[in-house]
């Protein structure tokens, strides 16, 4: 403190080199997980209308996407499947020849150093768009668990490195952990969607995979956005059941939750920068209202600053390019 009674904080902001020297939070390409929508068709690369630059990609064109992912240094992808046929129990999710199983085998055979994270849910595969078995317009928790276990085991058999269950059924981590262990996959970790809010930010994703519920909503199994303490209970339960990573979804409006999870638990924390967060930035940038690169880097850095170790983001390829620059 000087004679005038104030500190000279600006000394450490005088130049770009000085600011870089004292920077507390760093965003790296290695922090990013890139979601890919794999379509059970042939010769297709269809841009998602509400997600500019994001595509539904058929298996025979997946190499184009993976070549770019590898060239950019992205080390992990999160796979979502879009099957030809959907039914009431999402049977294509646990079909050993299903689209995600085929995509996983393709990636592991041709890009063995890329980690495959398999989304383990039924909503993309059910004709009603919900994440489990339906009785009287209600998702039946315990009847859904065996189907999720079958899905996880099938994905692990195909070569998935990480199982990422996103269904928000009570007990899903315990059931999947037991199922994986009994099938001989005790070394496959679970990246649990431990804290998943019933958010309005998921709309563009549901366009991408056709998973909009045909009746009702998901508020009986996804969390109330107003609740903070419930998030800690959900995370604690998943840890006790055997989770290896904790996902907080969405990320941008739940940075307080990310910070509390980071402070309380010692597992890797994953922020999911969801589709609505992505599309808002893209729309504003296309209208010339914001600087997309600066906004995205600031936003993802805030997730790291809040305590996230990893970030699932549709911006992963863009960010990797910007970081290389």
Tokens of 27: 């965003």
Domain count, the chain: 1
Mean pLDDT of 156-182: 94
> What angle, rounded to 10 degrees, do the helices at 141-158 and 172-182 form?
40
- Return the CATH number at 82: 3.20.20.70
In a domain, 153, yes or no: yes
- The annotation status of 275 as a binding-site residue, yes or no, is yes
pLDDT given for residue 141 in this prediction:
83
- Surface-to-core class of residue 277, CB atoms within 10 Å of its CB (0-12 exposed, 13-18 middle, 19+ buried): buried
In a domain, 8, yes or no: no
pLDDT band for position 128 (50/70/90)? confident
Burial 257-266 (b: 16+ CB within 10 A, else e): bbbbbbeebe
In a domain, 20, yes or no: no
Mean pLDDT (the chain) is: 92
Instruction: Centre a 10 Å sphere on the Cβ of residue 52 and count the other Cβ atoms it contains.
Output: 15
Mean pLDDT of 22-46: 95
Selecting among 86, 108, 157, 196, the annotated active-site residue is: 196
- The annotation status of 15 as a binding-site residue, yes or no, is no
Q: Is 196 a catalytic residue?
A: yes
Instruction: Centre a 10 Å sphere on the Cβ of residue 286 and count the other Cβ atoms it contains.
Output: 11
The strand pairing partners of 32, in sequence order, are 311
In a domain, 2, yes or no: no
pLDDT at 106 > cutoff 90:
yes
pLDDT band for position 218 (50/70/90)? low
In a domain, 9, yes or no: no
pLDDT band for position 278 (50/70/90)? very high
Backbone angles phi, psi at 39, to 5 degrees: -100, 135
- The annotation status of 10 as a binding-site residue, yes or no, is no
Q: What does the alpha-carbon distance between residue 151 and residue 167 come to, in Å, rounded to a whole number?
A: 12
Q: Which of the residue ranges 55-69, 141-155, 249-263 would you say has the lowest mean pLDDT?
A: 141-155
What's the pLDDT tens digit per position in 37-68?
999 989 999 999 999 999 999 999 999 999 99
pLDDT given for residue 215 in this prediction:
55
- The annotation status of 298 as a binding-site residue, yes or no, is no
What's the pLDDT tens digit per position in 164-176?
998 888 899 999 9
Greatest mean pLDDT among 113-127, 137-151, 188-202: 188-202
Asked whether the beta carbons of 66 and 114 are under 8 A apart, the reply is: yes
Percent of the chain with pLDDT over 90: 78
In a domain, 166, yes or no: yes
- Surface-to-core class of residue 46, CB atoms within 10 Å of its CB (0-12 exposed, 13-18 middle, 19+ buried): middle
Q: Is 299 a catalytic residue?
A: no
Instruction: Centre a 10 Å sphere on the Cβ of residue 287 and count the other Cβ atoms it contains.
Output: 8
Selecting among 249, 282, 299, 317, the annotated active-site residue is: 249
- The annotation status of 109 as a binding-site residue, yes or no, is no
Q: What does the alpha-carbon distance between residue 297 and residue 280 come to, in Å, rounded to a whole number?
A: 15
Q: Which of the residue ranges 102-106, 149-153, 181-185, 207-211 would you say has the lowest mean pLDDT?
A: 207-211
- The annotation status of 233 as a binding-site residue, yes or no, is no
Percent of the chain with pLDDT over 70: 96
pLDDT given for residue 136 in this prediction:
79
- The annotation status of 14 as a binding-site residue, yes or no, is no
- Surface-to-core class of residue 253, CB atoms within 10 Å of its CB (0-12 exposed, 13-18 middle, 19+ buried): middle
Instruction: Centre a 10 Å sphere on the Cβ of residue 22 and count the other Cβ atoms it contains.
Output: 9
Asked whether the beta carbons of 207 and 80 are under 8 A apart, the reply is: no
In a domain, 1, yes or no: no
pLDDT at 211 > cutoff 70:
no
Q: Which domain holds residue 294?
A: 25-324
pLDDT band for position 178 (50/70/90)? very high
């Amino acid at each position: 403190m000087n004679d005038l009674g104030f500190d000279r904080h600006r000394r450490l902001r005088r130049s770009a080199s000085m600011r870089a020297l004292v920077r507390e939070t760093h965003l790296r390409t290695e922090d990013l997980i890139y979601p890919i929508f794999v379509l059970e068709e042939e010769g297709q690369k269809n841009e998602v209308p509400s997600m500019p630059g994001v595509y539904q990609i058929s298996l025979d064109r997946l190499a184009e996407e993976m070549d770019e992912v590898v060239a950019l240094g992205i080390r992990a992808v999160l796979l979502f499947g879009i099957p030809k046929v959907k039914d009431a129990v999402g049977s294509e999710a646990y079909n050993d020849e299903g689209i995600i199983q085929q995509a996983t085998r393709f990636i592991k055979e041709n890009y063995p150093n890329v980690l495959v994270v398999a989304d383990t849910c039924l909503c993309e595969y059910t004709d009603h768009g919900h994440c489990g078995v339906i009785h009287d317009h209600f998702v039946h928790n315990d009847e859904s668990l065996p189907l999720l276990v079958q899905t996880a085991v099938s994905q692990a058999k195909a070569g998935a490195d990480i199982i990422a269950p996103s269904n928000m059924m009570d007990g899903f981590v315990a059931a999947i952990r037991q199922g994986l262990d009994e099938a001989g996959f005790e070394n496959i970790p679970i990246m649990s969607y431990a804290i998943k809010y019933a958010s309005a930010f998921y709309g563009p994703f549901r366009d991408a995979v056709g998973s909009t519920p045909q009746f009702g909503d998901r508020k009986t199994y996804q969390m109330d956005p107003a609740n903070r303490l419930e998030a800690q209970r959900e995370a604690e339960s998943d840890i006790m059941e055997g989770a290896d990573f904790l996902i907080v979804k969405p990320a941008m409006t739940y940075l307080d939750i990310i910070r509390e999870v980071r402070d309380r638990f010692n597992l890797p924390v994953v922020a999911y920068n969801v589709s609505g967060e992505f599309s808002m930035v893209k729309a504003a940038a296309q209208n010339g209202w914001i600087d997309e690169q600066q906004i995205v880097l600031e936003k993802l850095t805030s997730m790291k600053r809040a305590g996230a170790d990893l970030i699932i983001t549709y911006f992963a390829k863009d960010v990797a390019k910007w970081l290389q620059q």
